[in-house]
Structure formats: structure tokens, C-alpha cells
Amino acid sequence: MATAVTEPPQAAKAPKASGRRTGAAPRRLPYLLIAPAALLMLGFIAYPVLSVFSYSLQHYNPTKPWRNGFAGFDNFTRIFTDDPQFWGTLTFSLKWVAVEVTLQLLFGLALALIVNQTFVGRALGRALVFSPWAVSGVLTSAIWVLLYNSQTGITRYLADLGVGEYGTSWLSDTATVFPAVVVADLWRGVPFFAILILADLQSVPKDLYEAAEVDGAGRLRQFLHITLPHLKDAIILSTLLRAVWEFNNVDLLYTLTGGGPAGETTTLPLYIANTSVDAHNFGYASALTTVAFVILLFCSMVYLRLSKFGGESK
């Protein structure tokens, strides 16, 4: 809509403005174009973020209004000195992200390299292998709840084959719950990496390989010296995005284990959600959120710096 309003002036100017993107371009148009997006993001991301920061300095609990009020840094001191759950959930979050992202990257890379080859049935193979990407969150949980069910799940049929015993549930045993949720999340996470990496693989110039072959480089060397360097930026970016998403992701663990058994699979965001929604302790939850946000931002910056994202390769 906004474009229609400003249309006539540029239309008149356009033929004269042979220099591209110069001052001849209408001044207000770009601002009008980003305005809807900018306003939405200001109102529904920036403003909520700021209010979370301000809540973090308050005792804010709608069920205990007499305790509301300015708290200073009380919430933060409590987090770092008097909250074993914070450290527990943070450690689990980091372990969760590290394991998930590493495995997803390795499997995703392997999968992308495989489906990048030409072979009979490739299109169908790709479609099938990538399909869990479309399915996420609660649906993934629903599927794996059925698969892990103690009575009729996969363990029952394994027991029939003489592996394990009847009535075991991998989700309620502290020894098996972590691998069980990791596998469930891999199921939908690997296709994500594979799709991104495959997209980038297709842009590697073929003649590089031909040249390498003439020079007698084997497939492993071609992979190490052509493919991998070419994929670097895509890998860095997708790893970062995935790490952040895995850290923040609440859907899967919330519905699959609810953070249990015995808090064994509670990530920091899950702990925050429980603190704010179930315990109604908004002030404290906001302080936890602030800390989580700072940790995330810090790690992302360090990661981008260390990996020299977009550095010499661009």
C-alpha cells in the first residue's frame, strides 16, 4: 500500500537516475517500506524485551501483590548465590545444545553429501529424508511418546525379540531419558542442517573438482580442500542459528518429558517458563530471562568472532 502512495515522484525521476542507488533514489521510500516490519518488531519484540529487563528489577508476583515493588539487584544476587536449580538447568542447557548441535551438524553434513550425489530415486529419497523438517515441536513429541510408550512402544517389540524387558519406558528412567530425547530431537533437527548444507553444496563450482582430479587429488582431499572451505559460512551460520533455537526451544522437552524425570531434562528456558507461568514469579523469571539473554548474546558474539564469520572468504 505504502508503495502506491509514493509511486509518482520516483516514476518521474527514475529515467534520469542512471546512477544506481544514489541520492537520486527517493529518500522516504525505503523508510516507508521497512516501516511495517520495524513497527511490528518495535512493539512486539523490542518493547517486551525492555519490559522483561524492567521486571527483572522488581518483585513482581500477581498472586502475592503485597510483595510487589522495586527489588534492585535482589533477583540477580539470588540467581547467582542461592539458586541451585539455575546452575543445574544452565548446565543441562549447555550440554543439550552442545550434544544436539554437534550430532545434527555431523549427520546433516553426511546426509547432505549423500543426497548431493546423483543416483536413482534421488528426488524421492530427498523428499522422504527431509520430511521430518516440516514436522516439529508438539507433533514430534506426540510421535515419540507413542514410540517410547512403556506398554505398546518400541520396547515391547524389542522385548519380544529378547532385548530389554517389558514395561520399561526410556522417558521415565534417568539413565535413558537423555539419549531418548536427543534421538527424538535429532529426528527433526538433522534434516534442517542437511537442507541448508545441500543448498550450499550445489553452488560449489564443478570445475574445481575437475581441476583437482586432474591434479590427482583423491576424494577425501577434494572434500577437505574444496567442499569444506566452501561450506564454511553456511556451516557457521546454521550452527549458530540452530544452537540458539535449540537453547530456546521449549516445545519438545515441555511436551515430551515436562522437564522430568526429577528435573533431569529441564533446560533454563523451561525453568523460566515454569517460574513465570506456574509459580507466577514474573520478577524472578524476568531476571532469569535477562541472564539467559546475556549468556546467549555473549556466546554468539564470541562464536562469530572466533569463527571469523564472513571474513576473508567474502
Partner 1 sequence: MVQDTRTPAGPAGPPPAADAPPPGRPARPVRGRRRRAWDEVPRRQIYLPLGVYLVFTLVPFYWILLFALRPAGSTSLVPWPMTTAHFEKVWTERAFATFFQNSLLIGLATLVTTTVVALAGGYALARFDFRIKKGFMLALLCSQFVPGALLLVPLFQIFAELRMINSLGSVIIAETVFQLPLSMILISGFIRNVPYSLEEAAWVDGCSRFAAFRIVVLPLLRPGLVAVGSFAFVHSWNHFLFALMFLSSQEKQTIPVGLNTLMGADSVDLGALAAGGVIAALPVVIVFAFIQKWLVTGFSAGAVKG
Q: Does 2 bind partner 1 (CB under 8 A)?
A: yes
Q: Does 237 bind partner 1 (CB under 8 A)?
A: yes
CB of 149 to partner 1, least distance (A): 6
Q: Does 37 bind partner 1 (CB under 8 A)?
A: yes
Task: Indicate the residue among 142 and 262 with the shorter CB distance to partner 1.
Answer: 142
Q: Does 14 bind partner 1 (CB under 8 A)?
A: yes
Contacting residue, 86, 132, 189, 287, with partner 1 by CB under 8 A: 132
Instruction: Report the C-alpha gap between 6 and 182 in whole angstroms.
Output: 52
CB of 209 to partner 1, least distance (A): 5
Q: Does 303 bind partner 1 (CB under 8 A)?
A: no
Instruction: Report the C-alpha gap between 100 and 107 in whole angstroms.
Output: 11
DSSP character string of 159-195: HHTTSS-TT--TTT-TTTHHHHHHHHHHHHHHHHHHH
Cell output for 163: 532385548
CA distances (Å), 292 to each of 52, 53, 254, in order?
12, 12, 18
Q: Does 159 bind partner 1 (CB under 8 A)?
A: no
Q: Does 168 bind partner 1 (CB under 8 A)?
A: no
Whether 131 contacts 115, CB under 8 Å: no
Number of residues this chain uses to bind partner 1 (CB under 8 A): 110
Q: Does 223 bind partner 1 (CB under 8 A)?
A: no
- Long-range contacts for 201-208 (Cβ within 8 Å, ≥24 apart)? 201/112, 201/113, 201/116, 201/227, 201/231, 202/116, 203/230, 204/230
CB neighbours of residue 35 within 10 Å: 12
Contacting residue, 105, 181, 272, 287, with partner 1 by CB under 8 A: 272
Q: Does 165 bind partner 1 (CB under 8 A)?
A: no
Whether 235 contacts 205, CB under 8 Å: no
Contacting residue, 93, 104, 141, 265, with partner 1 by CB under 8 A: 141
Q: Does 41 bind partner 1 (CB under 8 A)?
A: yes
CB of 101 to partner 1, least distance (A): 15
Cell output for 116: 548431493
CB of 290 to partner 1, least distance (A): 9
CB neighbours of residue 221 within 10 Å: 12
Contacting residue, 161, 175, 206, 220, with partner 1 by CB under 8 A: 206
Which part of the chain contacts partner 1 (CB under 8 A), choosing from 65-73, 76-84, 94-102, 231-239? 231-239
